[in-house]
Amino acid sequence: MLLTAELQAWLRLSLVPGLGVRSQLHLLRALGEPERIFSAPRSAFKDLISPQLTDAVLSATVPSPVGIVELTQAWLLEPQHHLLTLNDALYPASLLSLPDPPIVLYAKGDLNLLKKPALSIVGSRNATPQGIEHAQQFATHLSNAGLCIVSGMASGIDAAAHRGGLAGRSSSIAVVGTGLDRIYPASNRELAHQLAAAGLLLSEFALGSPPLPMHFPQRNRIIAALGLGCLVVEAALGSGSLITAKQAVDLGREIFAIPGSIHSPQAKGCHALIKSGAKLVESGDDILSELCFGNDLFSVAVEPNKQAKQPLPEDEFWQALGWDPVDIETLILRTGLTNVALYEILLGFELEGKLASLPGGRYQRIGGGV
C-alpha cells in the first residue's frame, strides 16, 4: 500500500498537535477533506477552532514527529498492513455511531473481518481460571455462530476471548492502545502474531505510540462500537470493563454479563450490570437469541460504502432520512454517500436548525426539515 498525497493529508490532520478527534471532525464537516483543509485560508477557520489550533493546522506542512511519513510508508509496504481513513470504503460503518470516530485507523491483518457482524467481549486482566475458561468457550461458540470477536488484547479475559475467536470460524479483532509496530503487553506477543496472521489488529494511534494510560480508555470506545453487543465476563467494580459497557449502552448496544459467586470481587461488576438491566447469560445461545442472530438483520454483512453520488438532491436526502431517528450507518446505506460527504450535509442542516443530533449517533429532522 502506497502513502499517496491524499493519505498523507489524512495522516497530517490526525497528527496536528493539540487537535483532538472532535476538532478534526469539525473541520472535516465544515471544510471538506484534509487536502481542502490544508489549502484553506486562515479566515476559513474562524469560529471553527481557536487561533492557536489554526496556527498548528496551517503550520503542519509535514506530519509530526519528524519521520512519521517515512516510517508509515515503510510499514505500509509490508503485507496486510493498511491505513484506513474516515472516507475509505472499508472504514467500519459501526464506528460512525461514535461522537468521535477516529479519522484514521491503522490495520494489520484481514480487513474482511470488518464486514462481519461482531460481538465485543471484555473483562478483568486479573481473571480467575473459571473466567478464562468462560471467555474462551463463549468466544469460540459465538465465533462459530458467525460473530467476529472483538476485544482489547489485554491479559486475562481479553486474551482468552481472542484465542476463542481465533479457534472459531469468524476469527477475532484486537483494538490496541499502542502503535501497531509495538506489542503490549509483551506476554501477548505470540497472540498478536496469531491475530495478524488469521485475524485483525486495529489502532487509531500512530506508529511508535507507547502504551500510555490514557490510550486504553480511549480505545475502549472502539471496542464498544464495533460489536452488536458487549459481553462482560468478569469485572471488579470501577473497572475499565464497566466503562466499556457504559460506552456500549450509550451507543445503543446490547449488554450481557456472566454471573459469578457473590463472594468474588471479580463478579461484583457483572452483578452490578445485571441489576442495571444487562442480560444475565449462561450460554452463548442466550446472546444469539437476544441478538436475533441468524435473521437477515444480523446475518448479512454491512455493504462497503458506495461511491458518493455528488451532489445528492435535497429532497432525496430528506426522503432517506425519514421522520424517525436514524443512525449514520443506515444513512450511508440509504444515500450511497461517503462518510465525509454525509457528515458535511448533516452539519449544514444541523446549523440551519433543520435536524438534530441525538444520543447514540442518531439524527432526526425537526421543524425546519423539508
pLDDT in tens, 275-303: 999 999 999 999 999 987 654 333 333 33
pLDDT of residue 340: 64
Is the alpha carbon torsion for 231, 241, 243, 225 positive or negative? negative
Would you say residue 128 has pLDDT above 80? yes
Fold of 314-365: Arc Repressor Mutant, subunit A (1.10.10)
pLDDT of residue 351: 64
Would you say residue 3 has pLDDT above 50? yes
- The domain limits of the chain are 1-77, 109-299, 314-365
**CATH code of the domain occupying 1-77:** 1.10.150
Can you state the percent helix, strand and coil of the chain, rounding each to 5?
45, 15, 40
Q: Hey, which CATH number is domain 109-299, 2.10.60.10, 3.90.120.10, 3.40.50.450, 3.40.50.170?
A: 3.40.50.450
Confidence of residue 346 (pLDDT cuts 50, 70, 90): confident
Q: Provide the grid cell at 101.
A: 470516530
pLDDT of residue 72: 93
pLDDT of residue 302: 35
- Burial class from Cβ neighbours inside 10 Å (0-12, 13-18, 19+) for residue 51 reads exposed
Q: Are 106 and 179 in contact (CB under 8 A)?
A: yes
Confidence of residue 367 (pLDDT cuts 50, 70, 90): low
Confidence of residue 356 (pLDDT cuts 50, 70, 90): confident
Q: How far, in Å, CA of 271 to CA of 54, rounded?
A: 48
What would the mean pLDDT of 77-90 be, rounded to a whole number? Answer: 93
pLDDT of residue 370: 54
Element of type H or E holding 261: none
pLDDT in tens, 149-195: 999 999 999 999 999 999 999 999 999 999 999 999 999 999 999 99
